[in-house]
Every structure is written in structure tokens, then in C-alpha cells.
Amino acid sequence: MRRTEGRLADGRRILWFDEDATPGRDPATLVDRRDLPRTISASQLRYDTLAGEWVAVASHRQDRTYQPPADQCPLDPTHGERHTEIPTPDYEVVVFENRFPSFGGGAPLSGTTPDPAAGRCEVVCFTSDHDSSFGALTPARVRLVVDVWADRTAELGALPGVAQVFPFENRGAEIGVTLAHPHGQIYAYPYVPPIPARMLDRARAHLAATGRNLFADVLHAERAGERVVVAGEHWTAFVPEAARYPVEVHLYPHRQVPDIPALTDAERDEFAEVYLDVLGRLDALYGDPLPYVAGWQQAPVRPEHDGDRELAHLHLRVSSIRRAPGKLKYLAGSETGAGAFVSDVLAESVAQRLRDIR
């Protein structure tokens, strides 16, 4: 993988990632010629004392770009006089600092006092093809994206004040995607978010009670059960027993590793094949592109979480709110008001339908 660094007109960092066989990029040609003001983040972190959770307040994001026409997409390559966020006429994978970040690199957390949000938000463009999708990428391109996620996890995780690195993709207008171009994001949180924090709490309790790793026990049980969708030498994709969403698939490497940088070349290669297989089945489930959220659960990165890195087990969670053709599952009274999910489908039934797709 070849990495080329540059700066956008407002000072934000941009990185081009290319396969080794791709000709090198001349840094002198990577010039953003737009007249942009400096990006200023007005983010704050506020602490919900009743829930024991942090909430980011990013009011400047109200003005972010929202579903522009295809010929005005800011994630397309720059062509002629139409300048975009990527100042080159082509690219393979590009990462840049979000122009409308949820976190802004401010002061570190301090008790329950609202502080400017520390951390970093980056955009990852998977392809220069506006009309493509992650599921339409080649295995080689997916492998490049995995290497990019590993690069960014390692670098962002080393920043002062960062506690958790979360690469994710939101796909589909029903999910709330504001730009149709195939892309994802990476949030470098200044705290450990609620879902990974709860999982680690459960893993600590399980270790104390049994002497075993909770994630390994879950993976062992799922691999032996009827909810497996795709299985390879290094990865298994399954519908979890207590799936919260109508369509939900988790992808686990068989070897317990804390994060994406710890994956071997063989594990990264097979992930590309298994994940593309899963995405193909998801899109075929209802006969049209499935809206989904795909997010990597990685170990925390702060030194005080060293023990948690031994507990954590890297995995990818893909979930969709589509429950039937033309129908969505909305989070209603029980889910939103009480945090208690009510599933409309059996996990075993969804797994069987996904397995039967060829």
C-alpha cells in the first residue's frame, strides 16, 4: 500500500491510499485550489449524569452538505473547474478530515464539565465511482480498505486523548446518509462509547466467573449453531441469537485479536471475500440495495485500558432497519423510551434465508 499526504485549502489533512502497483502520485499536483475558510468546530461534550454517558453537541453540523445532486457530489474526484474535497482527477481510496466534525480536537475530558470535544472525525472514500457501492468493490479494493482502516486505527489511536477508534459505514437514504457516494467514516472518540463499554463490562464479569473469554465463548457457540451465514478458514459471519434489528450479521475472526492492525495478511485477504459474500446476500434479501450500518468493534486504546485489550475481540456488526420490502423498523416506545428492543423476526429464520441465497 502506498500513502500520499496533502492538505486541503482550509488546512484539513487528506491522504491518498493506492495499491503498490499504482503509479506514484506527484505531491506537487495534489493542490486544492478552492477558496475555503478555516474549519472551526463548535463541538462540546456534555455528560448525562443519569445515564452515565457522554453526548456530543455539534451544532455546526446543521449546515453540512445534504443530499446534493449527483453532479455536485463533494466526494467525486475534481474535474476541470468543478472542484471537490478530493483535488485529483482519480483516486483509489482517500481519507480526509471531516469538514463538519462531531469532535474537534479541543480540551480533554474533565469530570462532568462540558468541554470542547477532543478526538478526530475522518471521511473514507472507498472508490472514485459515484454510482458504485462497497459490495461492488473488488476483493483487492476491499483489502486496500482494510489496510487503510488499520493505518488509521493505529495513527488515530496514538493521538492524545483518544480512547476508542470506530470505523463505520452508513449506507442508504433510509439510514440517513447525506451523501450517496460510497464512503464511510472513522470516529476517534475521546471516551469509550456505551456499546463497547457494556460489552467489556460483561466480558470482565464472565472472566471472573468462568475463567474464559466471553467473546470466544459466544463465537464458539455461534459457529456450532444454526445461525451461521458464511464461514471460512479465518472468519465466520452469523446472525446473533438476540439480534436487535430485522437484519443483523456479525463477522468475527476466529483468532482473538484486539483491533484491525492485529490482523494477519491471510485474515485480511479472507475478510474481503467473506464480507463481499455477506453484502451480496444482504442486497439479494429483498431484491434491492439494503440500507445498513456497518461498524467495527475494536479494543480501547488508552493505557488504562490495557487489560481491556486482552478481553476484547475485534468484530464487525452489520445491521439494517428494513424488515420487509418497502417497510422499515422504527425505534418506537419500547426501544426509544425504555431501551428495550422488540424484534419482529427470528434470528434463525433470517440466517436461513441469507444462507439460501446463491
Q: Hey, which residues are catalytic here? A: 183
**Distance set, CA 299 to CA 187, 304, 307, 353 (Å):** 14, 12, 10, 32
* d(C-alpha 109, C-alpha 79), whole Å: 42
**3 state SS for 307-353:** HHHHHCCCEEEEEECEEECCEECCCCHHHHHHCCCCCCCCHHHHHHH
Asked if 60 and 100 touch (Cβ cutoff 8 Å), the reply is yes
DSSP SS3 for 103: coil
Q: Which residue has the cell 449546515?
A: 63
Amino acid at 188: A
Strands 183-189, 164-171: pairing is antiparallel
* d(C-alpha 304, C-alpha 314), whole Å: 19
- Give the closest residue to 100 by CA, choosing from 80, 117, 83: 117
What does 205-256 look like in DSSP terms, one character per residue?
HHHHHHSS-HHHHHHHHHHTSS-EEEE-SSEEEE--TT--SSEEEEEEESS-
**Strands annotated E in the chain:** 2-7, 13-18, 44-48, 53-57, 93-97, 115-116, 120-125, 164-171, 183-189, 228-231, 235-238, 247-253, 292-297, 315-320, 322-324, 327-328
